[in-house]
Chains A and B, each alone.
Chain A
Amino acid sequence: MKILIIEDEARIAKRIERMTRDFFDKEVQILLSDSVENGLNTIEKQSIDLLLLDLNLNGEDGFEVLQTVVAKSFQTIIISAYTDKAIMAFHYGVLDFVPKPFDANRLAQAFTRFTTPEKTNSQDIQFLAIKKSKTIKLITIKDIRYIKGAGIYTELHLVNGRVELHDKSLESLEKLLPVEFERIHKSYILCWQEADKLIVEAGGKYNMLLKSGELLPVGRSKYKEIRHKLI
């Protein structure tokens, strides 16, 4: 596992690195970067699993960086002094916001959220950032009907009928998305408001009929849970 720390204060960067190593039992590769520029270079060159980002780096506003990085496949945890920016960060779809000053426990809590497969809480995410021909586009969560896994990408099926590609995996998105999104299949996340009824076909195949008339497959293992929720 590769973790990148972008932090301009040497002492704090070392502290984060030490605590990260302690948490992940030294099985991780940790990259350090003291500026936005270096950090982005690293992200381009290497695929990472987790980014620990400071929002204000050498006087530069970290939100531009944030927009760029949340479109990527890896998860982001913000470690910043600007606690008033926390809500904004969650809107952009970060996994957690650790306010400075922090201790090992608070950081561990953020890492736990990263390692736990299930959704741990309902969050304030309002946008998903996607990359479109070098620019970043923000998709409002309310516009998403369902999400389909497609290899290393995911397809966001929107209310207006369009389909956008996202770099994060279904597993990653599942952690970010609010409670009204349900994993109904290994390849599908559905927004509950779109669900109409559950259809059982011959041969033990389960399908979900959407209000738009489309049919989505429902995983065998998920069936009981979903039927329970529908009732």
Chain B
Amino acid sequence: MQTALRAFEMHFCIRYLFYLYLMYRSPFFIVLLLLMFSSCKQYTEYVKSDVTYYVDDENRPHDYLGKSDNSVFKVPIEIEILKRENKSTPLGLQVTAFGSFDVYWDGVFVGSNGKMAKSGQPEIPGTELTYYQIPEKLANKGKHIVTVIGTQSKIRDANRSIGLKLESFLRLHRAPLVVMSFMNLMAGAFLIAFIYYFFLYINSTRKEATVLLFGIICLLFFCLLIIEYVKFYIDIPYTHFYTRLQTVGLLTFVISILVPWYFMLQFSFKRKRLFLFLLIVSLLTIYLVYYGHYDYTAIYFSYAMCALSLIIAIDAAFRKIKGGLIVVIGLLASVIVNKYMFYDFGLFIAFTIIVLSMLYLHTIRAKALEEAHNASLLLSSRLQLELVKKNIQPHFLRNTLTSLIDWIEESPQQGVVFIRALADEFDIMNAIAEDTLIPIQQEIELCRKHLEVMSFRKEVCYNWEEKNIDANEEIPPAVIHTIIENGITHSFPPKQGCITFCLSFTREKQYKQYTLLTLAKNRNRKKENSNGTGFKYIKARLNESYGSNWEFDSFAIEEGWCTTIKIFDKK
């Protein structure tokens, strides 16, 4: 006993899937799970048909082909109509078979598929799936004979049987339309996703592999859906029947590799190569073992993919990586769908769930990137503010002004020189305030002006020396300036002579280094303040421009104090 059109009922499932997918992303997976279960129950209840009929499927005719390529085969098949519910639409007959043939219903010609080979004329191959309308006066209850007469000159070793199905003629034609409307909707969504992520990859400065990979998976998935259902609107000659199945198999193969790979990258899974290698080996084994069984190959491919993805996702969930649990749930849902559903849809819904969980991961990732970006912007503006504050903080400004008043009162000419130096320092500070990197010469100029100002204030002689400075180099603003401020604060003024600051630059194979020596007697530092506000500023600036590719060190030496900044070439 057989009833027709399983395809009809599945659209509920797919429709809800899409509504949910478009509206709510996070509760989607939970609802989806419930929906899957409920729709699985409904599945058998909803399979209804206009016609109830009996055909002996167990003993389908095989080996009906003649010996020569052009020999005509004639296959009579008995079919019994048990019940017809809706007689307002004509009865339809679906035939699935290879070859070119004419179909007769109780001896009456109802249609042909392709053109049989005749003497001198080669065969025009028909397509695998065809529909025929049965004259109403012949569609009575009882036994009928369907006779298929034709030739099959190609793929003769396929040894296909002839499959028959009865259904109202209207439903026979409408069923693929309904299925395809949802499958095309899905395909369209993935096409858009592919285009979006592809453009995103092209235009992003980061060039993240996961973005491109996700785009490619979406594209392949789009292709898979289109190729799978292309049979409904293009008459593929039976000679190319297997071409479509092979393409589907190839697409499934590639997707089965790319999806776990994507999860590996997204969850930064260890032992990527080993597991990818194992996956490819197992996929090839499946291919070889089930060679020719296209449906099984695709199913086992997806099993392998699901299994590895699950391992990766569970590992990620254990490592408490964001999104890991969601992917585990999504994968389990797709396993359940696969188990309870007819292959065609089960596979695609399972794939859809997987791709959706990937999309969800992607949004999580995008959010994290956005937050990191905002944080860096915030840091940059805070550092700018810090730089501007350097010269207006009361300690600097009021002490400088007090000294300045004194200079003007006591020796106005020197006072003017002092004012000029101060104005110059302000000018440079103003010029560099908004930059994240400035030429080293500008930084040195800033340091010189600062030393000049400080020599007026402290009445100490400050000496500036530089070695090997490469004028093309750049450095974050006011970094050396900050080290010099510290040097001035923490050095005893010498009884005679000067405090010397010596900046030197060296370039090694993997890094460049600035060394600032402060030649003076150190004051006793109460606490080891290697994390004082000055050092925090320097470290934040280095982070901003060089990520983690730098080293900062500051320590006492015999002659005074030594501060080094190492900037590594990008790893």
Give chain A residues whose Cβ lies under 8 Å from the Cβ of B490: 58-59
A37 interface hit (Cβ, 8 Å): yes
B407 interface hit (Cβ, 8 Å): yes
Instruction: Give residues in A with beta carbon < 8 Å to B.
Output: 9-12, 14-15, 34-35, 37, 56, 58-60, 81-84, 99-103
Partner of A83, one of B394, B403, B404, B405: B394
Report if A11-B526 is in contact (Cβ < 8 Å); known contacts: A101-B402, A103-B405: no
In the complex, how many angstroms separate the beta carbon of A196 from the nearest chain B beta carbon? 48
Report if A81-B459 is in contact (Cβ < 8 Å); known contacts: A11-B406, A59-B490, A101-B405: no
**Contact between A82 and B394 (Cβ–Cβ < 8 Å)?**
yes
In the complex, how many angstroms separate the beta carbon of B166 from the nearest chain A beta carbon? 94
In the complex, how many angstroms separate the beta carbon of B415 from the nearest chain A beta carbon? 11
Partner of B458, one of A11, A35, A81, A83: A11
In the complex, how many angstroms separate the beta carbon of B321 from the nearest chain A beta carbon? 44
Residue among B394, B402, B404 with the highest chain A CB neighbour number at 10 A:
B402
**Contact between B493 and A34 (Cβ–Cβ < 8 Å)?**
yes
B536 interface hit (Cβ, 8 Å): no
Give chain B residues whose Cβ lies under 8 Å from the Cβ of A11: 402-403, 406-407, 456-459
**Contact between A15 and B406 (Cβ–Cβ < 8 Å)?**
yes
Report if A81-B395 is in contact (Cβ < 8 Å); known contacts: A10-B460, A11-B458: yes
Report if A10-B493 is in contact (Cβ < 8 Å); known contacts: A81-B397, A101-B398, A101-B401: yes
* Assembly CA distance A58 to B489 (angstroms): 5
Residues of chain B in range 518-536 having any CB-CB distance to chain A below 8 Å: 523-524, 526, 532
In the complex, how many angstroms separate the beta carbon of B95 from the nearest chain A beta carbon? 94
Please name the residue on chain A nearest to B524 by beta carbon: A37
B548 interface hit (Cβ, 8 Å): no
B381 interface hit (Cβ, 8 Å): no
In the complex, how many angstroms separate the beta carbon of B271 from the nearest chain A beta carbon? 51
Please name the residue on chain A nearest to B488 by beta carbon: A58
How many B residues face the partner with a CB closer than 8 A? 25
Residues of chain B in range 55-112 having any CB-CB distance to chain A below 8 Å: none
Residue among B399, B404, B524, B526 with the highest chain A CB neighbour number at 10 A:
B399
**Contact between A12 and B406 (Cβ–Cβ < 8 Å)?**
yes
In the complex, how many angstroms separate the beta carbon of A172 from the nearest chain B beta carbon? 28
Give chain B residues whose Cβ lies under 8 Å from the Cβ of A12: 399, 402-403, 406, 457
Give chain A residues whose Cβ lies under 8 Å from the Cβ of B456: 11
Give chain A residues whose Cβ lies under 8 Å from the Cβ of B526: 60
Give chain A residues whose Cβ lies under 8 Å from the Cβ of B399: 9, 12, 81, 100
Please name the residue on chain A nearest to B402 by beta carbon: A101
Instruction: Give residues in B with beta carbon < 8 Å to A.
Output: 394-395, 397-399, 401-407, 456-460, 486, 489-490, 493, 523-524, 526, 532
9 A-B pairs with C-beta separation under 8 A: A9-B402, A10-B493, A11-B407, A11-B458, A12-B399, A59-B486, A59-B532, A81-B394, A101-B402
**Contact between B402 and A14 (Cβ–Cβ < 8 Å)?**
no
**Contact between B402 and A35 (Cβ–Cβ < 8 Å)?**
no
Give chain A residues whose Cβ lies under 8 Å from the Cβ of B460: 10
Please name the residue on chain B nearest to A14 by beta carbon: B406
Partner of B398, one of A10, A37, A100: A100
* Assembly CA distance A81 to B523 (angstroms): 22
**Contact between A99 and B458 (Cβ–Cβ < 8 Å)?**
no
In the complex, how many angstroms separate the beta carbon of A220 from the nearest chain B beta carbon? 49
* Assembly CA distance A35 to B397 (angstroms): 20
Give chain A residues whose Cβ lies under 8 Å from the Cβ of B405: 15, 101, 103
In the complex, how many angstroms separate the beta carbon of A104 from the nearest chain B beta carbon? 9
Give chain A residues whose Cβ lies under 8 Å from the Cβ of B401: 100-101
**Contact between A9 and B489 (Cβ–Cβ < 8 Å)?**
no
* Assembly CA distance A101 to B394 (angstroms): 10
In the complex, how many angstroms separate the beta carbon of A54 from the nearest chain B beta carbon? 9
Please name the residue on chain A nearest to B396 by beta carbon: A81
**Contact between A58 and B523 (Cβ–Cβ < 8 Å)?**
yes
**Contact between B458 and A10 (Cβ–Cβ < 8 Å)?**
yes
Give chain B residues whose Cβ lies under 8 Å from the Cβ of A34: 493
**Contact between B523 and A9 (Cβ–Cβ < 8 Å)?**
no
Residue among B395, B460, B490 with the highest chain A CB neighbour number at 10 A:
B395
Give chain B residues whose Cβ lies under 8 Å from the Cβ of A15: 402-403, 405-406
Residue among A11, A37, A101 with the highest chain B CB neighbour number at 10 A:
A11
* Assembly CA distance A81 to B397 (angstroms): 8
In the complex, how many angstroms separate the beta carbon of B525 from the nearest chain A beta carbon? 9
* Assembly CA distance A35 to B493 (angstroms): 11
In the complex, how many angstroms separate the beta carbon of A9 from the nearest chain B beta carbon? 5
